[in-house]
Amino acid sequence: MKTLHDLHRPLGSTGLSVSPLGLGTVKLGRDQGVKYPNGFSIPDDFTAGQLLQLARELGINLLDTAPAYGRSEERLGPLLRGQRQDWVIVSKVGEEFDNGLSHFDFSAAHTRRSVERSLQRLETDYLDLLLVHSDGNDLAVLEHSEVYPTLAALKAEGKIRAFGFSGKTVDGGLLALQDGDCAMVTYNLNEQAERPVLDYAAAHRKGILIKKALASGHACLAPGQDPVRASFELIFAHPGVSSAIVGTINPLHLAHNVATAATVIEALGHS
């Protein structure tokens, strides 16, 4: 069975080493207001624990969570007890999700409160990477809120090891990488507008995480083509990409994604 154990790569110049696929955990905590082609049930603790164990066995060490993912953080804390050294944990700040609705707060006070809450929920003393969950007004968030300076201070305090931005625009991604360590960008078969952010990251040794790598399960191709393979060929051909986040809770899908990613990356390495 193909795994990613030997294919970990640097997350920019953060000193963190990440698997080329990361496990997104929105489906561990939230089933409202999510855009997936098929419905799903939030897995129980036993099933979620098995999924995390499988991810480790397949060589995945990157977990992506957020306060906006419902109960994801508070469930991960107990599930990861005794394993902290095995995982690179990414969480976020800025977006809150209550009663089916999102709202945003980028103030210094909320940023600090949110990070302390994430540390408590995840039962850890530090977060490896903290990303700003943008509301789409990327430049306004970066230029006119206190969130980035607050994250820089939290990094200096050792509460977070690296910080960055999960945005929606090229301008936002480029600005975020000037002072931050990492950007999370949408890049898939359907959407490639943020490619300049990947180019900048590759040139300046910044980290890139890909969200919606499989177009949230909507990747479509001509008959007979494997959409997962075609997606990973696009993503991993770019030298700026550190890792792509996949959000499946299906063990077979996860193993297939890992095997496909490993095959694609190995082929690219030999080409």
Among all chains, which residue has been given the structure tokens 């997104």?
24
* Contacts (Cβ under 8 Å, ≥6 apart) of 137: none
- Per-residue pLDDT, 271: 60
Q: What is the DSSP string of 86-110?
A: G-EEEEEESEEEETTEEEE---HHH
Mean pLDDT (whole number) for 69-85:
97
Strands 129-133 and 101-104: unpaired
Name the residue among 127, 16, 146 with its Cα closest to residue 80: 127
pLDDT in tens, 209-255: 999 999 866 666 667 788 999 999 999 999 999 999 999 999 999 99
How far is Cα 233 from Cα 217, in angstroms, rounded to an integer? 16
Q: Is 15 helix (H, G, I), strand (E, B) or coil?
A: coil
Both tokens assigned to 15: 């000193």
Q: How much of the chain exceeds pLDDT 90, in percent?
A: 89
Q: Is 69 a catalytic residue?
A: yes
pLDDT in tens, 99-153: 888 999 999 999 999 999 999 999 999 999 999 999 999 999 999 999 999 999 9
Active-site residue (options: 36, 69, 126, 187): 69
Both tokens assigned to 248: 């499946």
Gyration radius from the chain CA atoms? 17
Name the residue among 271, 252, 261, 270 with its Cα closest to residue 7: 261
Among all chains, which residue has been given the structure tokens 């206190």?
146
pLDDT in tens, 152-208: 999 999 999 999 999 999 999 999 999 999 999 999 999 999 999 999 999 999 999
Q: Are 160 and 151 in contact (CB under 8 A)?
A: yes
- Per-residue pLDDT, 99: 84
Q: Are 6 and 258 in contact (CB under 8 A)?
A: no
pLDDT in tens, 12-50: 999 999 999 999 999 999 988 887 777 789 999 999 999
Q: Are 217 and 242 in contact (CB under 8 A)?
A: no
